Amino acid sequence: MIRTLLLTALATVAPMAHAANLALMPMPVKVETSAGKLAIDGTFGVTVVARDRIAINGLHAPVPRLDRAVEHFLDRLARQTGIFFAPAAKAETLRIECSPCTGATPTLEEDESYSLDVSAGGARLQATTPEGVIHGLETFLQLIQPGADGLQVPAVHIEDRPRFAWRGLMIDASRHFIPVEVIKRNLDAMAAVKLNVFHWHLSDDQGFRAESKLFPKLQQLGSDGLFYTQAQMREVVDYASDRGVRVIPEFDIPGHTLSWLPGYPELAAAAGPFEIGRRFGVFDPVLDPSREEVYTFLDSFIGEMAALFPDPFFHIGGDEVNGKAWKQSEAVQAFAKQHGLKDTLAIQTYFNQRIQKILRKYGKNMIGWDEILGPDLPPETVVQSWRGQESLAEAAAKGYRGILSAGYYLDHGRPAAYHYGIDPLTGPAAQLTPEQAARVLGGEAC
């Protein structure tokens, strides 16, 4: 969980030097300190004013996600300070103003900015969305410090907004299953440092971790009994949303699909039998792109999963397809010749084009690892660069939006300074035009 802190260099622009004595992570865009302290004691109270809530019959409807965020904040505040907050009337210590405060779930285009003013007389947090309020509340919690007369928050004026819209963490629950409670703990850590995308890697050669009711043999024969039920996946999505975090699933296709094949060997480009991958590495079995039955299967499966994950982005993996099974398949080679597909990348691009049409049907945009970048890749595809910053710059130059993961692989055991030193818009990306650079959405630690 602590490792999630390492990517926070992505979160904001450079800090102001005079605010260096404040233990804030990430450092906000603007911090101005002044004399005075706000005492935190048992009289602490929060008032929420959401001015432009949707009016129904002259009344303003509540914003449930904002209300839950405040409830979560108060619970955190009690645990952090050890102070019991009585249910009786309290002072208006913190006033939250959210306008227009719309948005049932976090989105890529969300305005995540906020301002926070603290003085001896009270604090005011202003934002236009629940995300902005959530980030501001995290900053307020970080400002609490012990003083001579008890816990206090220094007088401060803060203005903050993210430098990148996409600030993510990928957890590979396929190769190493992660219980739901641990996932939630990581989501709490992400929210604490204002990361806003949870990339949930749910299938790979070593395990298929999502319950499918349409194709139950996926988890029955591909997970060793370690998988998330649909109720648990919905629970995680809701939990993340209340913390300003979007959840994007990854189901790796057409390669890294060994765990799919014990239950559905007819999807493979080569004959079985198949068993779950029991070692790390790249396995040869892949899906058969020449059979319509494969696309029919994937259409139904993607539709089922799309209903569980409301975010408009859907990750298809697409990495490390070595093409051996396709080259050894007479049917695939005949299909490739018929469609003028000259090599493995061309075959995979054809497959991706078919998958993109399926994803569009369910209102989703495709994300894939940088191996998918090639001629005729659908233009709305988002390319996630894991092999190096060169592919990020190449994708942006060719008109594709991109995410950087190269340099943020936490399992590599690099020192924190290394991860902090990686910037999506340096290196090859530094040569991009402003229009091209705007296609770099941000980054993800893995």
Helix axes 344-361, 292-306, angle to 10 degrees: 40
Tell me how far apart the alpha carbons of residues 396 and 34 are, in angstroms, rounded to a whole number: 43
Question: Which residue type, as a one-letter code, is found at position 165?
Answer: A
Residue from 236, 250, 235, 180 nearest 403 by CA: 250
Whose structure tokens read 């994708």?
395
Tell me how far apart the alpha carbons of residues 290 and 268 are, in angstroms, rounded to a whole number: 10
Answer yes or no: are the C-beta atoms of 416 and 6 closer than 8 Å: yes
Q: State the catalytic residue, choosing from 97, 235, 320, 390.
A: 320
Q: Which two tokens stand for residue 217?
A: 């043999």
Tell me how far apart the alpha carbons of residues 404 and 168 are, in angstroms, rounded to a whole number: 10
How wide is the angle at C-alpha 376 spanned by C-alphas 441 and 398, nearest 5°?
Answer: 40
Per-residue buried b or exposed e for 188-199, using 16+ beta carbons within 10 Å of the residue's own CB = bbbbbbbbbbbb
293 is an active site residue: no
320: alpha, beta or left? (left if phi > 0; alpha if psi -120 to 50)? left
Q: Which two tokens stand for residue 48?
A: 């929420």
97 contact partners, CB below 8 Å, separation of at least 6: 49, 50, 51, 124, 125, 126, 127
User: Phi and psi (nearest 5°) for 372?
Assistant: -75, -10
Whose structure tokens read 């699933």?
249
Residue from 17, 36, 15 nearest 139 by CA: 15
Tell me how far apart the alpha carbons of residues 193 and 413 are, in angstroms, rounded to a whole number: 20
Q: Which residues belong to the active site?
A: 320
